[in-house]
Amino acid sequence: ATLEANLARIREQFAERPVPRPREWGGYRLSPNVLEFWQGRPYRLHDRLRYTRREDGSWMIERLSP
């Protein structure tokens, strides 16, 4: 509840202006075309999913294993 209240307060505070950043702030914007998620499970039955972005912006999901 406290986290949600803080978020609501900050959204209201910066509704009409950008959130200030430190002068030395830097960042990256990633736009991946392929993502793979791996979740380890016992007996090498690992769960692997690959998401591939289609030209229309949607994602195709493939189960690679098990």
Of 39, 63, 38, 66, the C-alpha closest to 52 is: 63
Centre a 10 Å sphere on the Cβ of residue 51 and count the other Cβ atoms it contains: 14
Which residue out of 17, 21, 23, 44 is catalytically annotated? 44
- Measured CA to CA, the distance from residue 34 to residue 50 in angstroms comes to 7
- pTM for the model stands at 0.60
Q: Where are the domains of the chain?
A: 2-65
What are 12-64's pLDDT values in tens digits?
A: 999 999 999 999 999 999 999 999 999 999 999 999 999 999 999 999 999 99
What are 40-53's pLDDT values in tens digits?
A: 999 999 999 999 99
- β-sheet bridge partners, residue 53: 59
Q: Is 44 a catalytic residue?
A: yes
